[in-house]
Structure 1
Amino acid sequence: MKNKLKLGQAAGVVAFAIIIGAVSMSSSSTVDARTSLKENRTVNAGVALGLTEAADATELLTAGVTSALTYYGADVSVAQNDSNVVTASAQGAQVGNTAQETEQANEASQTPTAAQTCGYTNLGMSVISSGNLNIRQEASTDSEVIGILTNHNACELLEDAGEWYKVTSGKVTGYVNKQYLVTGDEAEAIAEQEIKTVATVNTETLNVRAEKSTDAAVLSQVGNSEAFTVNSVADGWVEISVDDSVGYISQDYVTLAQALPTAKTIEQVKYGDGVSDVRASVVSYALQFVGNRYVWGGTSLEKGVDCSGFTMRILGKYGISLPHSSRAQPSYGTKISASEAKPGDLFFYGSGRSISHVAIYIGNGQIVHASNKRDGIKVSNAYYRNPICVARYLPD
């Protein structure tokens, strides 16, 4: 008499254990059908069975065997005859050594990667030692630059174009030189280090407070759709770094998500009529340093600089002498309204009327500034905080 269990074609991963009556077991061994794909073999009780990519392989197992089988889309048959012999055969099967290993493998396969968590299906990560990686309109060094990637920025690979990849990153879609991107496991390893929790403001204006309380002092205000790296979340409050200050915003008015750093558009350098060549040059020069370090008290554009050191060095190249102090810099220019701002003007921020931060306006509602230790020199919305004042230094 023969009792046979037929397991049909699997749509996913299936694991099962066959446990036959207790007998004295010989020393445990492992059988791997990879060593002989079309061979019938008999093994003693107590074995841990491993079939991997078996092709018409049949194992004969004596009673007492526990066999953990994991297979993908394969037909697996198990039968017991009157001689207390179990036959397990598989076509294209992949089998784990133990049920515990199978369970661990299944759990690992279900854990999303950093790329999957952030919505990438074909992840690329930029790897550059300094400066920026240009994203171009076409796959040519003669083509227009439409965006920039800094080191360890993420992108979705859309197309392999010889020496170039067509990518999309942030709001930019274009071509990147292939030699500065890594893919596969190498990209995923970088992504695991770079992934961060980001809070995106989902209300028109949100107060940043000094403490986790609506009674605490307002340090500044941030605008709708502005995104900030999260330091911590507790008691309904999200701790963020706003430039060189730490503050708290209500969790009720932000969307929290895992994200990887992405490209910045440089559409802002496409000025309209009436912008002088010197202003265009100031912005172009300042954008070269996006991604470089923030260092409090620093004045080196390459090795590290703070907010006022950044504006001092950038405008200094064009003959404008400024002190190394965001509080003092407004008095060296002419105050104007924010609506009158042109590329090269300076935006000043702070709490109340006390100035603590400065940035360079680059057009189209954008600024470039040395933000904080975490973000370094970056491009932001000019109204990510309410500016206290705007000052002009360059001639028209």
Structure 2
Amino acid sequence: MQKLKQRLQHKRIFGMGGILAGILAFTGTVYGAPEEMPEENQVAYAEVSTCLNIREGAGMEYPVIARLPKDGYCEVKKEEGAWCYIESEEIEGYVYKSYLETGMNQETYLRRTGREEPVYAYKVENVEMNTAGKGQEIADFALQFVGNPYVWGGTSLTSGADCSGFVQSVYRNFGISLPRVAADQAQAGTRVSLEQLQTGDLIFYADGGAIYHVVLYLGNGQVVHASSAATGIKISPVNWQNAVWGVRLI
């Protein structure tokens, strides 16, 4: 009789343990395991008026290696004090945490920013030397409008512009007048070779000798431009095959 009572008591204990294990398995609680940021909450964007510097290390003393445009999309990989280590497409580095809007997934990012697709970081070269220049100021201003629509014949930086309308409106903000169409803009300012390009210069593309497109040079082989109705205002590599010359207006 005594042995039977002991067996029943043993069964009740193990039964309670099984229930507890089941509860822990159901809730996903694992005691002692490190807490990780859920993947859906790693998405963030740059909440700035122009662009956010991406640095090589977690501190202002580290060089700038790239920039994240206004509303630029990134994923937060880890936090180090006031800094976040982020990844934006193929670019990784550190940004100051206070300028990031965090805690969302990609769907929420698109809804909050009003973008149809993510806007990513772009690389820069010798940015510390160029930051004080007017060309960099113009480039930073233009980057605010990445993701906005392309509209044929348009000149609005927010509601829509075509390629020549985009650069005309950007430069108008700095008190510089440009003709309306790309072919005429190509004759303005000072013509420079592609080897002499500086941040803020215009680059013209031609096909069969006819100018058909204008872009604004960011440096390091990158441009910002009103591309097409499908892609809007975007950052792209220079199309060196069709680029013919640059124009400097400052």
TM-score higher than 0.5: yes
Tell me how far apart the structure 1 counterparts of residues 244 and 124 of structure 2 sit (CA, whole Å).
Answer: 26
Q: Choose which of 75, 85, 109 in structure 2 pairs with 1:166.
A: 85
AA in 2 matched with 1:294: Y
Consecutive unaligned residues of structure 2, counting only runs of 5 or more, are 1-13, 27-37, 112-116
Which digits, 9 at most, give the CA deviation of each residue in 1:53-97, with x for residues without a partner? x9269xxxxxxxxxxxxxxxx9xxxxxxxxxxxxxxx99888xxx
Which digits, 9 at most, give the CA deviation of each residue in 1:161-184, with x for residues without a partner? 46764212231311344861234x
AA in 2 matched with 1:289: F
- Structure 2 residue matching 1:308: 3-state secondary structure: helix
Cα deviation, residue 393, structure 1: 2.6
Q: Choose which of 355, 362, 368 in structure 1 pairs with 2:218.
A: 362
Q: State whether residues 51 and 69 of structure 2, in contact with CA within 8 Å, keep that contact through their aligned partners in structure 1.
A: yes
Instruction: Confirm or deny that 1:267 pairs with 2:124.
Output: yes
- Structure 1 residue matching 2:139: 3-state secondary structure: helix
Change in Cα spacing, 1:362 to 1:296, as seen in structure 2 (3 Å) is same
- Structure 1 residue matching 2:183: 3-state secondary structure: coil
Instruction: Confirm or deny that 1:134 pairs with 2:38.
Output: no
Instruction: Confirm or deny that 1:125 pairs with 2:43.
Output: yes
Change in Cα spacing, 1:376 to 1:132, as seen in structure 2 (3 Å) is farther
Instruction: Confirm or deny that 1:55 pairs with 2:18.
Output: yes
- Structure 2 residue matching 1:328: 3-state secondary structure: helix
Which digits, 9 at most, give the CA deviation of each residue in 1:343-380, with x for residues without a partner? 22211114222222101123232222122234332222
Equivalent position of 1:148 in the other structure: 68
CA RMSD of aligned residues (A): 4.1
Equivalent position of 1:308 in the other structure: 164
AA in 1 matched with 2:86: V
Which digits, 9 at most, give the CA deviation of each residue in 1:312-369, with x for residues without a partner? 1122233332122112211223333211222222111142222221011232322221
Instruction: Confirm or deny that 1:294 pairs with 2:150.
Output: yes
Cα deviation, residue 153, structure 1: 2.3
Change in Cα spacing, 1:173 to 1:262, as seen in structure 2 (3 Å) is farther
Percent of matched pairs sharing the same residue? 29
Q: Choose which of 343, 347, 351 in structure 1 pairs with 2:207.
A: 351
Higher relative contact order structure (alpha carbons within 8 Å, sequence separation ≥ 6): 2
Cα deviation, residue 152, structure 1: 7.1
Tell me how far apart the structure 2 counterparts of residues 344 and 378 of structure 1 sit (CA, whole Å).
Answer: 15
TM-score, normalised by the number of residues in structure 2:
0.65
Q: State whether residues 271 and 363 of structure 1, in contact with CA within 8 Å, keep that contact through their aligned partners in structure 2.
A: no
AA in 2 matched with 1:270: V
Q: State whether residues 50 and 140 of structure 2, in contact with CA within 8 Å, keep that contact through their aligned partners in structure 1.
A: no
AA in 2 matched with 1:55: G
AA in 1 matched with 2:170: I
TM-score, normalised by the number of residues in structure 1:
0.44
Change in Cα spacing, 1:363 to 1:91, as seen in structure 2 (3 Å) is closer
Count of paired positions: 216
Tell me how far apart the structure 2 counterparts of residues 132 and 308 of structure 1 sit (CA, whole Å).
Answer: 21
Q: State whether residues 295 and 373 of structure 1, in contact with CA within 8 Å, keep that contact through their aligned partners in structure 2.
A: yes
Change in Cα spacing, 1:160 to 1:361, as seen in structure 2 (3 Å) is closer
Equivalent position of 2:190 in the other structure: 334
Change in Cα spacing, 1:299 to 1:361, as seen in structure 2 (3 Å) is same
- Structure 1 residue matching 2:138: 3-state secondary structure: helix
Computing the radius of gyration over CA atoms, which structure comes out larger, 1 or 2? 1
Tell me how far apart the structure 1 counterparts of residues 170 and 126 of structure 2 sit (CA, whole Å).
Answer: 16
Change in Cα spacing, 1:132 to 1:181, as seen in structure 2 (3 Å) is farther
Larger strand proportion, structure 1 or 2? Answer: 1
Larger helix proportion, structure 1 or 2? Answer: 2
Tell me how far apart the structure 2 counterparts of residues 276 and 132 of structure 1 sit (CA, whole Å).
Answer: 15
Tell me how far apart the structure 1 counterparts of residues 160 and 80 of structure 2 sit (CA, whole Å).
Answer: 36
Consecutive unaligned residues of structure 1, counting only runs of 5 or more, are 1-36, 40-53, 58-73, 75-89, 95-120, 194-259
Q: State whether residues 279 and 343 of structure 1, in contact with CA within 8 Å, keep that contact through their aligned partners in structure 2.
A: yes
Cα deviation, residue 302, structure 1: 2.6
- Structure 2 residue matching 1:358: 3-state secondary structure: strand
- Structure 1 residue matching 2:186: 3-state secondary structure: helix
Change in Cα spacing, 1:126 to 1:132, as seen in structure 2 (3 Å) is farther
Change in Cα spacing, 1:144 to 1:134, as seen in structure 2 (3 Å) is farther
Q: State whether residues 360 and 368 of structure 1, in contact with CA within 8 Å, keep that contact through their aligned partners in structure 2.
A: yes
